[in-house]
Amino acid sequence: MTVAYQLIIIALSIVGLWKGAEWVVESAARVARKLGLSELVIGLTVVAIGTSAPEFAVSVTAAVKGQADICIGNIVGSNIFNLGFILGGVALFGGIGITRRMLWRDGGMLIGTGVLLVIMLYDGTLQWWEGTILSAMLISYILYLFIQNEALEDAPPDGSFRWWDIPRVILGIAVIVTAGHFLVESASALARLAGVSEWLIGVTIVAIGTSMPEFATSFIALLRGRHGLSIGNLIGSDLFNLLGVLGLAAILHPLHVTAEAWESVAVLAVFMVIVVGMMRTGGKISRREGVLLLVLTAFRWWLNL
């Protein structure tokens, strides 16, 4: 394929990411109102699970093939990118408000999940029964979010709910995931033509590409004033990756990981503690804290190159 062709694919993919994210944000907000739920809950569940499809596909496939380190590495890399570059980048465009409930419920769930995974993987193996515990935690968490039915605190969506908002959310997520896939493929092809190594492509382009759905959705949500959807998508995506993707992967095939993979999970756990600590200060993640998240993530990324 020519360079011009790959550039056209990249341009179309970016348009697809942007348009798909607009559909998801607009319609998800109206669906949330119709169901009597906050946009945060919809972001933590439906939108987060949908935008995590790339990580799900890569990690589960790697687990079935017995490539546990790739499975763990993809999840850890994606989660750090979500909480570092994406959350930090989104915060630069305006501090992200954090409610007390979000801090204790969702922030506590993040830290608890990180610590639990560090303990489970300490012996170098994630067994099927441990995967079952992780999956059960995710299901319980999602059920709790819907049963709790927290008060609506988000800005009202543009327009009223229409029946096609539900398939529009699904279509939007499908467009985002598809566009992200083609963006990764074309960007990787250009990198190869430029003589970039497969390893560098993997830890940069592929890692960023699988997080593009979360980035596009959270960024558009912030621009539209949907702070609950924006941060809910990032936190929910990380929880789905750690509990749902790793849980299912371990159930399908026990994960035997190296010491380096365990250390990466420990780094992620520390990173999540830092993020939740930032959520406690001033009731929001400020621009200054956003810059700090970007610097920390860039430093960690540089160490892996």
Q: At what angle do helices 259-280 and 68-81 cross, to 10 degrees?
A: 20
State whether CATH 1.20.1420.30 applies to domain 3-304.
Answer: yes
pLDDT of residue 156: 53
pLDDT of residue 196: 67
Instruction: Report the phi/psi class of residue 255: left, alpha or beta, with left for phi > 0 and alpha for psi in -120 to 50.
Output: beta
Give dist(CA 239, CA 285) in Å, integer: 19
Over its length of 305 residues, how does the chain's per-residue pLDDT go in tens digits? 577 887 788 788 878 877 877 787 778 777 777 777 777 787 788 778 777 777 777 777 777 777 777 778 778 878 888 888 888 888 887 667 777 778 888 889 999 999 999 999 999 899 999 999 999 999 999 888 888 765 545 555 556 777 778 888 888 888 877 887 787 777 777 777 777 665 556 556 666 777 777 787 788 777 777 777 778 888 888 898 899 989 988 998 888 888 878 888 898 899 899 988 888 776 778 888 889 999 988 887 777 65
Cβ count within 10 A of residue 210: 26
pLDDT of residue 34: 78
Cβ density class 220-233: b for 16+ within 10 Å, e for less: bbbebebbbbbbbb
